[in-house]
Structure 1
Amino acid sequence: MEYISSKKYLIKNSVSTFLRVGISSISTIIITPFIIQKIGLNLFGYLSLTSFFISYAGIFDIGISKALVYILSGEEITSEKKSSYISAFFYINLLIIICILLAGGLAIFLKLPILGESVAPQNSLYLLITIVSILILVLSIYNMYQCAILEANLKLDKVNQGTMLKIIILNTLYVLNAFSHNNIKLYILSALISVIATTAYYSYNIKKNVDYITIGLPSLQKIKDIFNVSIKFAGVGIFSSINSALPRIAVTYVSGDLANIAILDVVTTLSMSIVNLGGSLAKPFFALTRRNPKQIKNKLGKILLFFILTGSIFLSVVFVLKDYITTYFFHDQHHTTFLSIILIVYVSAAVIYLIGQPMSMYLMGTGKVKYLIKSLALNTLLFFILFAIIDKYSSNVLISLAVSNILMAIAYTSTLSFYSVRK
């Protein structure tokens, strides 16, 4: 890819990213407080649990989607070889999904509380939430396969559009339900419908934009090639998923309080919009670094400056509006200070993570994934140590999570900076 093509690709992706984050964030900011007011914080906790397993998608993906992008982004690979690799990944992906469905079915049959005691088997919503959560998980894993194909073919704008579509459909269904039945079961099903629609959208765009794909039985060699490359990236997916899941795991299984689950979900959604923005803006650097590592390395300083300035703007806006935001979302005048502190700490951590996004893509693009895995593994270890110590002296699990989260963010981005400069 020539420089001008790389520049156009980055601009195109940046525009689609800002549109996605802007439209998705605005719709969520408008709809979420309205839904909380309609059904209450506790019932909103059930909606939060429908996406509980999404954090595990990267664990079950075991780095294969990143391996696919890495392989397909090679300069000398033919369309025929690309198609054979995609076929191999399709069947690997299908096998993983079947195993998850069988395990999920067994858990439901044995009536295991896999979503914590807040959704125990005797709960009337146990079956629905558990089934929806498992189906969303397997569809999310399949979405990673679809997004990998689009990313490798420089169609990240379609990935952004799919994510935006999912949020718009979800919030639209929420509003329709709120003004008609206001039924908790319909709210839960809305999450599944939005993911199904997104999956269909990705399938349509792959068929339209990637004309060399012919799914056939893969050779053993192609499967081995994918696993040989995916081993490099497996740690990234696994540890990234573990790190993003740890706060939810803690509040779900340690606390089990639906209100705390709902609060964490809202605060995480607001802060993750910043991280997702950074992730989407940084994502092209994986394929671009793979194609031209020297060009990206020379511009890494300017790229990081852009991310620092973007994060600082977000943090400043949230800090000025913190009290209004917490009152607006939670309709709680009595705990505004507490909720504002939690919000600011989470957003600060998100900004720190945002700065690390381009460095993580750069390390993956240059094939030096082991340094990224070391950073993520350190993060996981830090969480267990910090949360265990802080929660012992803290009166609220949300405080323990907030402090642990920002300390993890500092450690993670600092480690990435060290490895990017050094290596």
Structure 2
Amino acid sequence: MHVTIRARLLRILVLPLAVLFALFGAAAAQQFSAYRDVAGTSANARLCLTLQALVHALQKERGPTIGYLGGVRQLRAVLPARRRATDLARARLEEALRGRDDALAAAVRASLGRLDALAAIRRRADDGTGSVKVTFGRFTAAITALDRLELGLDDAHDARLRAAYQAFRALGSAKEFTAEEHAIVLGSVAAGRFPADDYIRFLQLRAGRLAALESFPRSATAAQRRRLDEALGTPDAARALGYESAAVRGGGRLGPRAVPAVSWWTSMTSTVNGLRAVQISLGRDVQDRAAGLEGAARRDLLLFALFAFGTVTALGHLALDCVRSVSTPLDVLTEQMREVAGTRLPRTLAAVQHGTPGRTPPPAPLAVPDRAAPEVLEVAEAFDRVQRVAYDLAVEQAVLRRDAAESPVGIGPRDSGFGGAA
């Protein structure tokens, strides 16, 4: 069975096109995977800010709750507002989780389950049956569960994003240590001393805060370090540091003049709020960098898609043009040649032989499509020469026949040279 030129051309084109499609497919899968990872990182960065807003609200509720249970009755008035802020922050976090079914969202929802105990904690604080140590432990456990969730930003490929998040985490640790100091002193200041081993706990929290603040500059930018210095240089922060130093020197004693309960609460609350403002700015740095990476990945994916589409389109056009310039013109030419050989040329030759030479026009040349390749044109020209030669021979025969008929010698048709010997 003979294989047509069209089939041969398709065979030649199919293999490289298949290889090209495979390469583009693999590259597209890799590009899409990279974009999906960056998009996930950006989404986690946005979630991180909402998550830390809830952590901050819990920290601010923990302090006055512990202080009230420890005997600082003035703090009772601030509890309703703190509780509403916590509930609002939790609702916003749950709203941010809506529609997400990834592992991080599941982990956050599991950690939020710890907050279901808040109702009982608040009720015991209001009726005075709550314990300072137990309440502090439950608040801190819930905060720690939320604050230590792995958001996947530590493993980001981008060095700037990774450094920004590390600075964010270091500040978050320093802020939590500060908030725990705030609460543990408030729970003890009314009694005038730290109960049991809370003084050792207080010293450990202070050391943790100092270590976290010391690690912050390693990953923070100059602008981020300047923001933190400004937050820690306010009068309230300086006053809180003075009270802290007095508590350290007291060796477990918390005199009302050395560490006034309400003044400690206001100065530490202001300090924690200042750290929160810096944390928000750091979170925005993380989010902006992640959003920039997502935009760049989206642009790269779009450019790759356009390039792949353009390449495939160009190759398809070349393949189609190849078929149109060779196979299709050959089909058209073959059909015309059949018609010429079977009908037009015999009719023209018969008209020449039986008519008057010179009156029958020569056969028209073959019509070749505009897209035909030069090789196809050469075939058409060769066939045109063949039919022109046939036409010329027929004209010569007709002329010789006419001349023989008009000759005075009276040479008959048998002597004209076309009928053979007598």
- TM norm structure 2: 0.32
**Which has more helix, going by share of residues?**
1
Higher relative contact order (CA 8 A, sep 6+): 1
Larger radius of gyration: 2
